[in-house]
Amino acid sequence: MSKVQMTGSFQWMKTLNKSTILNTIRLHSPISRADIAKKTKLTPPTVTNIVAELLEANLVRESKVGTSQGGRKPILLTINDRHSFIVGIDVGGHLIRAVVTDLNAKIQAKCEIELPHELTNSLLLEKIKVVIHDVVKKSSVSMDKVIGIGIGMHGIVDYLKGVAVFAPNFQLSDIPIKEEIEGHYHIPTFVENDVRALALGESWYGNGQGIENVICINVGIGIGAGIILNNELFHGQNGIAGEFGHVIVDMNGKQCSCGSFGCLQTIAGGAVLRERALQSEQNQYLLQKVHNNAEDINGALIFECAQEGDEFSVQLLAETGRALGIGVTNLINLMNPTRIIVGGGVAKAGEYVLGPLRDVVRQRALTTQARETEIIESKLGDDGTVIGAATLVLKDLFSPQISS
Ligand SMILES: [Zn+2]
């Protein structure tokens, strides 16, 4: 927990038995008091007392009447999703996106602001405050109803301290996001790498629900991953677990933005896709589309042209898919997840990329089962990271902590 004075309701909701009961209602709603007692192994009087407190606080609602198993029909309980709200933020390379969600991660309002080219730590922190203010205002939720702020930040993040250690797109380091935002709003704030946040969002509300071991990869200009192991986000010793774009796939390969050579990011991902399109002599169809302004060629256009039947664009996307397939095969052999979820800009090309990607996995993963690992698109799409950022708060809120 942070040093700042937390809002009363967040602390209050997080006491051990309340969190346990709230999470049981969240997962099994609508549910009776008797079934809560069975699932939590708390005594029925304890459940009744805590549920009474939760009802009094309007955090839980009595809903429909359940089916009777002999005696009186039980009254079923659900979470009052609109009791409190969360702010979720995605700090990308060029803009900050923000949402306000309810306690079920449903988006109530959205907004985004563009970032200037020249940024400093303090200017970036100011911009984050502006977008929080704007999105809460737009949602018509009063600020005292906001019980937590979650922030997904690109680059290397110390999630325990809430510090952006290095943000490559801004060339900024050691940005004390948590300290600054909590100091300003006095609301618990959680900061995480953007792809790790996306993976958590998919795990709770997207295509990773109910799956213990799932990996979410994000393929945009760069490539990252979030690893969910046994339902928990895996960080490794220093929080770099999931830097999938920097897995080395070619010992003699090209130099990567990280300084190393032959990283996956040097053969796959949005930047390479674009570069290949620009360098080839077969790009007439693409060039014609942008009236010979080669600078305007991007992943979205290549996808559009592939859909229109331009064979060169189809081949470019397939090449990206095959290169990603090499990385994904390594990932499967290393971690053996149940499912791999693919998100980010390049994933929007759908089967043009995913088909060739799966072909490589089917040919090259270690065992028959590994070759059949499910590889699907993200469910949350463009909202994945902001919902994931909000999930950082929801996860903390609904996870019982022995120490509280
Ligand atoms: Zn690298």
Domains observed in the chain: 8-79 (1.10.10.10), 85-201+385-398 (3.30.420.40), 209-378 (3.30.420.40)
Residue 209 vs residues 25, 196, 204, 214, 399: alpha-carbon distances, Å = 16, 15, 5, 9, 16
Rounded CA gap, 377 and 347, in Å?
A: 7
Question: What is the CA(97)–ligand 1 centre distance, in A?
Answer: 26
Band of residue 383 on the pLDDT scale cut at 50, 70, 90: very high
**Does position 109 have pLDDT exceeding 90, yes or no?**
yes
pLDDT digits (tens, 9 = 90+) for 27-50: 898 999 999 999 999 999 999 999
Rounded CA gap, 277 and 300, in Å?
A: 12
Question: What is the CA(257)–ligand 1 centre distance, in A?
Answer: 6
**Does position 402 have pLDDT exceeding 60, yes or no?**
no
Q: What is the structure's pLDDT at 68?
A: 67
Mean pLDDT for the chain overall: 92
Question: What is the CA(327)–ligand 1 centre distance, in A?
Answer: 13
**Does position 376 have pLDDT exceeding 90, yes or no?**
yes
Question: What is the CA(114)–ligand 1 centre distance, in A?
Answer: 27
CB 361 within 8 A of CB 329: yes
Band of residue 378 on the pLDDT scale cut at 50, 70, 90: very high
Band of residue 8 on the pLDDT scale cut at 50, 70, 90: low
Percent of the chain whose pLDDT exceeds 70:
96
Which pair of tokens denotes residue 40?
A: 């939590």
Question: What is the CA(318)–ligand 1 centre distance, in A?
Answer: 22
**Does position 360 have pLDDT exceeding 50, yes or no?**
yes
Question: What is the CA(169)–ligand 1 centre distance, in A?
Answer: 14
Rounded CA gap, 400 and 117, in Å?
A: 42
Rounded CA gap, 276 and 267, in Å?
A: 10
pLDDT digits (tens, 9 = 90+) for 129-161: 999 999 999 999 999 999 999 999 999 999 999
SS3 annotation, the chain: CCCCCCCHHHHHHCCHHHHHHHHHHHHHCCEEHHHHHHHHCCCHHHHHHHHHHHHHCCCEEEEEECCCCCCCCCEEEEECCCCCEEEEEEECCCEEEEEEECCCCCEEEEEEEECCCCCCHHHHHHHHHHHHHHHHHHHCCCHHHEEEEEEEECCEEECCCCEEEEECCCCEEEECHHHHHHHHHCCCEEEEEHHHHHHHHHHHHCCCCCCCCEEEEEECCCEEEEEEECCEEECCCCCCCCCHHHCECCCCCCECCCCCECEHHHCCCHHHHHHHHHHCCCCHHHHHHCCCCHHHCCHHHHHHHHHCCCHHHHHHHHHHHHHHHHHHHHHHHHHCCCEEEEECHHHHHCHHHHHHHHHHHHHHCCCHHHHCCEEEECCCHHHHHHHHHHHHHHHHHHCCCCCC
Question: What is the CA(256)–ligand 1 centre distance, in A?
Answer: 5
Question: What is the CA(5)–ligand 1 centre distance, in A?
Answer: 40
- Work out the average pLDDT over 243-268: 94
Q: What is the structure's pLDDT at 297?
A: 92
More confident residue, 401 or 262: 262
Question: What is the CA(307)–ligand 1 centre distance, in A?
Answer: 31
Question: What is the CA(106)–ligand 1 centre distance, in A?
Answer: 35
Which pair of tokens denotes residue 89?
A: 């933020």
CB 209 within 8 A of CB 203: yes
Question: What is the CA(89)–ligand 1 centre distance, in A?
Answer: 26
Strongest mean pLDDT among 101-110, 292-301, 339-348: 101-110
Q: What is the structure's pLDDT at 401?
A: 61
Question: What is the CA(402)–ligand 1 centre distance, in A?
Answer: 39
**Does position 4 have pLDDT exceeding 50, yes or no?**
no
Question: What is the CA(9)–ligand 1 centre distance, in A?
Answer: 43
Q: What is the structure's pLDDT at 259?
A: 92
Tell if the pTM clears 0.95, that is, is over it.
Answer: no
**Does position 404 have pLDDT exceeding 70, yes or no?**
no
Question: What is the CA(221)–ligand 1 centre distance, in A?
Answer: 13
Question: What is the CA(246)–ligand 1 centre distance, in A?
Answer: 4
Rounded CA gap, 40 and 21, in Å?
A: 7
**Does position 173 have pLDDT exceeding 60, yes or no?**
yes
Strand partners, 233: 228
Band of residue 206 on the pLDDT scale cut at 50, 70, 90: very high
Band of residue 1 on the pLDDT scale cut at 50, 70, 90: very low
Question: What is the CA(245)–ligand 1 centre distance, in A?
Answer: 6
Rounded CA gap, 88 and 362, in Å?
A: 37
- Work out the average pLDDT over 230-238: 92
Rounded CA gap, 232 and 270, in Å?
A: 29
pLDDT digits (tens, 9 = 90+) for 329-356: 999 999 999 999 999 988 889 999 999 9
Q: What is the structure's pLDDT at 76?
A: 94
- Work out the average pLDDT over 283-306: 92
- Work out the average pLDDT over 67-85: 85
CB 239 within 8 A of CB 193: yes
- Find, among 354, 352, 356, 335, the residue nearest to 343 by Cα: 354
Question: What is the CA(266)–ligand 1 centre distance, in A?
Answer: 7
